[in-house]
Amino acid sequence: MKRQLPLAIIFLCGAFTLFQYFIPHEQSEYLYEFVALDWPPIIGVFALMLGIFSLIRVSWGKIRRKSENWPYAIVTLIGLAGMIATGLPGIGDHNAPAVRWQFNYIVYPVSATMFSILSFFIASAAYRAFRARSFLATVLLVSAVIVMIRFFPLGPLTDPVGTTADWVLNVPNLAAKRAIVIGVGLGIVATALKIVLGIERSYMGRD
Amino acid sequence: MPHTPTPPYTSPARLLALGMVVLAMLWATLTLAQTPGDTAATVAVETAPAPQPPLPATGIRAYDAPNDGGHAITVEWTASGDDGQGRNNVVMYRVLRTPALRGPISPDSVPPGDPSYRLFDSRAYGTAAWRFIENQWDTLADVPMGSTRYENRGGKQRASNDFLPDHIEFRYKVLTINDAGGIAESEVSAPASASGQYLHTGKLLHIGIPVVIFLALVLYFINAAKSGRELYIRPLAGINAVDEAIGRATEMNRPILYVLGLGAADEIATIASLTILSRVTKKVAEHRTELLVPCYDAVVMSIAQETVKQAYLDAGRPDEYKDDIVYFVTQEQFAYVAAVNGTMLRRQTATNFYLGVFFAESLILAETGSIAGSIQISGTDRTTQIPFFVVACDYTLIGEELFAASAYLSREPKLLGTLKAQDYAKAIFLGVLIAGCVGAALQWQWIARTFHLSF
Amino acid sequence: MNFFEKMFAIDRRWVYLTLFVAVVVSLLLDFSIPVPISKEARNIYNYIEGLNAGDAIHLALDYDPSVSAELDPMTLSVLKQCFTKDIKVIITALHQFGPALAAERIDTAVARHAALTGEKKINGVDFVYLGYKPYPVLIILGMGQNYRIPFPRDYYGVSLDSLPMMANIRNYSDVKAVINISGTSATDWWISYGNGRYGVPLAIGVTGVMATEYYPYLQTDQIFGLLGGLKGAAEYEMLVNTPGPAVEGMKVQIVAHAIIILFIVIGNVGFFAMRRSEKRKA
């Protein structure tokens, strides 16, 4: 029963979603939009509580055991408590000055900094990856350089380079992407079918 | 100064003047009593010749829009003889609608004080509003020249302004307007009403049938595999490296990091990643290596906890499982990246798996792992992130390889069977694509029509 | 290690340092880069220019501060164009870290418009800011039925029914287009549900990294315009005739690209020199 019930629920939900897709009638849409789609937020809210509980437990465990770099766990817990406390109705809300302050002066700059690290990593990765080791690697290298220099003011070469870069982006690049997307689409359908039909159950920890 | 008496009102001059005033007023009253449109027309006739109307749109027909949830009527017509041909001066068509009254009309639907028209009693049909006026033509839309079709898709809510009730008949007509402002009116269509359908024939043809074919292929190859038929599948370097990567972590006595990505639990890539996590965990449990699974999504965390717990149990090492293996970090993209990067650098993870849905953080994670000297195996269905993983990781599962990985790792016949079915489905796709290309080159319209998506 | 071997294997920290110095120097130097306008950007501009005063569009700002350098100029430029043309704007922010950011950008656009024209755009009359609700798919679907389903009240807690601008706006059929400026996968949902399910004309502005993923949708007319990264933002700034941080940032982008190309060249010179010396040894 413990094994069959989840599989039955998965089959029923999967079959409902599949058949609903082919029924355009208003009642079917209503069922999908107002009944089936109401579940994720409800599950999400309860799962978020589990998530917060997990974060507290893991951080507290680090502090208690004085494991490596345990003071960071204190910062995590202070951040968590501070944001929740200042955002709680009655104490503050999502527009309270304290919440805005934490967003403006902590979350925003730290997030922007993390994202901007990407440009340094792109430079370093490009340096290591674009080597003319073979014919195909050379094609990749030349294409990358053309796409990168398309914004440069190159005098009489600006237009031909721009046209070539557009061609590279819109023809070979898109052709390869579409091929991957078709493969991904089939893979998604196959995986979804395997799950709905109970062929693939390892995500439940079982074969 | 003597008082001058006012002339008597009955003097002949006064009577003549009064008569002229009365006549003038009578003329003015009669003129103004005409409708404003008529007045304008009269003035226009006097000042400039009326613009010559174009040839009208013909063959107007209205019918229930197919394959929808109702509340929509499609109107079609044959283009005016002056649209793209003839005088070629049509600029647009204006679509108008009026209710075709067949249902009951309530006596109290007559607005007080105005007997010239009656309101259509939509309450008789269970709707709330009084909205459709008999013999009043409502302008619905202007559509550009060259159009021969308009879909009158109304609101579904009864309280909405553009509510279009199902099962109530309407008539339509189309005005053809040319660049000189000339207007030609079409015939009025036969009445049509909207209704919802219980089967979308377009989706059935283009999606339902392919899904059934695919399902048949899957079942066929599962049976073939079960009956012992040898199914060849191309080896994948990324999958073959899983054992080696886990072995390396065990030898170095350093942990393995498994990142499920930033996808929610309803994304197939996340589910595929969870299936791989299950198989990786079993091997990890057998080797008694430490595993770390920091999570971005709380729902995914809950599922991953169950998956890992069960995998430890199945591997015969339930005592090795700890609640701290799978843990929640945060649902903020770059805060999550910072936390995972910190874990990689502090714990010096020997092997990193990045499998699932990834966004801009892919390269930041993979480069940091590369700096930490970890073996890295990645896989995602996000085409934008694949190049970043290819550059910075040792092995990358590209697109569908991520979905196939579970079958590769388990080597179970039923899972391998679905992989084989996928290959055949791809061959069919390829055939259709080639047919489409050839058909387009040779202008075989029927191919385009057959595969034209009607939704 | 000889010179060529060094060229072949430069420590990544040198790459980081060079890039950092180049970026800082290019910000300090005074020079300008021409910004040619792409068809994808011009399509969005022309579409909004073609609307009548009083028409409404929906501006979906689905991004957080990490990508605001690329996307803020798009937001401000589109708002400027709409305010100048007297086009009503419905604004949503479907990223959990986006709502406060979006509110501030709206305030900035209103203040700039007031400084430029002396006209104060009024919340509820000229624009409506609905704010944030979780689960973007559900919100996009809900707004397709009626804006009041997910957002009975606006960001400031005022009932939508009491806002004059919303009197005749019920759902996507009452707006002329959705312009989605996004750093998240919400763009996918706008394409699948906003355009796919409800048929609303859609244009997008996304980060440079995301841009290539959405070109196919341009070809299939699922979106009518695309602004990609800082370049797209700079193009729009030029279109609305307000060169700002994005146009300024193009200097940095071009210098950064030049540095990356330089390192690629150095790496290849080192690679060929190494290969030649290895062949000689062999």
Give the integer Cα–Cα distance in Å for A139 and A146: 11
Percent of chain C with pLDDT over 90: 67
Report the pLDDT value the prediction gives residue B276, as an integer from 0 to 100: 92
Asked whether the predicted pLDDT for residue B124 surpasses 50, the reply is no
Asked whether the predicted pLDDT for residue B160 surpasses 90, the reply is no
Q: Mean of the per-residue pLDDT values for chain C?
A: 92
Report the pLDDT value the prediction gives residue C115, as an integer from 0 to 100: 96
Q: Mutation target for A interface from B258, B271, B331: give the one with most A CBs within 10 A.
A: B271
Nearest residue of B to residue A207, measured between CA atoms: B410
* Pairs of residues, one from chain B and one from chain C, whose beta carbons lie less than 8 Å apart: 35
Asked whether the predicted pLDDT for residue B42 surpasses 50, the reply is no
Report the alpha-carbon angle B19-B20-B22, nearest 5.
Answer: 65
What residues of A are in contact with residue B340 (Cβ under 8 Å)?
Answer: none
* Pairs of residues, one from chain A and one from chain B, whose beta carbons lie less than 8 Å apart: 206
Q: Which two tokens stand for residue B126?
A: 């269970």
| pLDDT grade for B82, boundaries at 50, 70 and 90 | very high
Asked whether the predicted pLDDT for residue B43 surpasses 90, the reply is no
Report the pLDDT value the prediction gives residue B413, as an integer from 0 to 100: 82
> Bigger pLDDT: B62 or B207?
B62
Of the candidate ranges A138-142, A182-186, B152-156, the one whose mean pLDDT is the lowest: B152-156
Give the integer Cα–Cα distance in Å for B158 and C172: 17
pTM of the model: 0.82
Nearest-neighbour CA in chain A from C54: distance (Å): 31
Asked whether the predicted pLDDT for residue B401 surpasses 50, the reply is yes
Give the integer Cα–Cα distance in Å for A119 and C252: 12
Q: How many CB atoms lie within 10 A of CB C241?
A: 10
Report the pLDDT value the prediction gives residue C122, as an integer from 0 to 100: 94
Report the pLDDT value the prediction gives residue B412, as an integer from 0 to 100: 82
pLDDT digits (tens, 9 = 90+) for B332-385: 889 999 999 999 999 999 999 999 999 889 999 999 999 999 999 999 998 889
Report the pLDDT value the prediction gives residue A68, as an integer from 0 to 100: 81
Asked whether the predicted pLDDT for residue A200 surpasses 90, the reply is no
Asked whether the predicted pLDDT for residue B8 surpasses 70, the reply is no
| pLDDT grade for C1, boundaries at 50, 70 and 90 | low
Strand order in the sheet with B326-328: B326-328, B291-295, B256-261, B351-357, B375-380, B395-398
Q: Mean of the per-residue pLDDT values for chain A?
A: 87
| pLDDT grade for B123, boundaries at 50, 70 and 90 | very low
Report the pLDDT value the prediction gives residue B179, as an integer from 0 to 100: 92
Q: Does the beta-carbon distance from A187 to B429 stay under 8 Å?
A: no
pLDDT digits (tens, 9 = 90+) for A32-73: 776 666 777 888 888 889 999 999 999 999 999 998 889 999
Nearest-neighbour CA in chain C from A57: distance (Å): 24
Of the candidate ranges A154-168, A178-192, B87-101, B120-134, the one whose mean pLDDT is the lowest: B120-134
Report the pLDDT value the prediction gives residue A11, as an integer from 0 to 100: 92
Percent of chain A with pLDDT over 70: 95
Spell out the SS3 assignment of A140-195.
Answer: HHHHHHHHHHHHCCCHHHHHHHHHHHHHHHHCHHHHHHHHHHHHHHHHHHHHHHHH
Contact by Cβ (8 Å): B321, B366: no
In three-state secondary structure terms, B294 is strand
Of the candidate ranges A93-97, A171-175, C28-32, the one whose mean pLDDT is the lowest: A93-97
Nearest residue of A to residue C140, measured between CA atoms: A33
Asked whether the predicted pLDDT for residue C86 surpasses 90, the reply is yes
Nearest residue of B to residue A14, measured between CA atoms: B266
The residue-averaged pLDDT of A11-30 equals 88
| pLDDT grade for B14, boundaries at 50, 70 and 90 | low
Asked whether the predicted pLDDT for residue B32 surpasses 90, the reply is no
In three-state secondary structure terms, C56 is strand
pLDDT digits (tens, 9 = 90+) for B223-249: 898 888 888 888 889 888 999 999 999
Asked whether the predicted pLDDT for residue B125 surpasses 50, the reply is no
Asked whether the predicted pLDDT for residue B328 surpasses 90, the reply is yes
Q: Does the beta-carbon distance from C145 to B161 stay under 8 Å?
A: no
Q: Which residues 19-38 in chain A show a CB within 8 A of chain C?
A: 33, 37
| pLDDT grade for B128, boundaries at 50, 70 and 90 | very low
Report the pLDDT value the prediction gives residue B455, as an integer from 0 to 100: 61
| pLDDT grade for B190, boundaries at 50, 70 and 90 | very high
The residue-averaged pLDDT of A14-30 equals 87
| pLDDT grade for A177, boundaries at 50, 70 and 90 | confident
> Bigger pLDDT: B126 or B189?
B189
The residue-averaged pLDDT of A86-113 equals 82
Asked whether the predicted pLDDT for residue C129 surpasses 90, the reply is yes
Asked whether the predicted pLDDT for residue B17 surpasses 60, the reply is no
Percent of chain B with pLDDT over 90: 51
B454 touches chain C (CB under 8 A): no
Report the pLDDT value the prediction gives residue B182, as an integer from 0 to 100: 93
Contact by Cβ (8 Å): C185, C206: no
Asked whether the predicted pLDDT for residue C168 surpasses 90, the reply is no
Report the pLDDT value the prediction gives residue C237, as an integer from 0 to 100: 97
Q: Which of C141, C257, C266 sits opposite A151 (nearest CB)?
A: C257
Query: Alpha-carbon dihedral of residues A35, A41, A44, A46, nearest 10 degrees?
Result: -90
The residue-averaged pLDDT of B30-47 equals 45
Checking DSSP bridges between strand B351-357 and strand B326-328, what pairing results, if any? unpaired
Report the pLDDT value the prediction gives residue B25, as an integer from 0 to 100: 55
CA A176 to chain centre: 22
Asked whether the predicted pLDDT for residue B253 surpasses 90, the reply is yes
pLDDT digits (tens, 9 = 90+) for C199-246: 899 999 999 888 888 888 888 889 999 999 999 999 999 999 999 999
Nearest residue of C to residue A37, measured between CA atoms: C138
Of the candidate ranges B4-8, B9-13, B440-444, the one whose mean pLDDT is the lowest: B4-8
Residue type, B20: M
In three-state secondary structure terms, B121 is coil
Give the integer Cα–Cα distance in Å for A111 and B191: 60
The residue-averaged pLDDT of C29-55 equals 92
A21 touches chain B (CB under 8 A): yes
Report the pLDDT value the prediction gives residue B11, as an integer from 0 to 100: 53
Percent of chain B with pLDDT over 70: 80
Report the alpha-carbon angle B411-B416-B417, nearest 5.
Answer: 150
| pLDDT grade for C55, boundaries at 50, 70 and 90 | very high
Contact by Cβ (8 Å): B187, B174: no
The residue-averaged pLDDT of B46-56 equals 80
Contact by Cβ (8 Å): B265, B271: yes
Q: Does the beta-carbon distance from B332 to A183 stay under 8 Å?
A: no
The residue-averaged pLDDT of C154-173 equals 90
pLDDT digits (tens, 9 = 90+) for A142-161: 999 999 888 788 888 888 99
Q: Does the beta-carbon distance from B274 to A199 stay under 8 Å?
A: no
> Bigger pLDDT: B9 or B361?
B361
Task: Render the burial of B256-278: b for 16+ CB within 10 Å, e for the rest.
Answer: bbbbbbbbbbebbbbbbbbbbbb
> Bigger pLDDT: B70 or B12?
B70
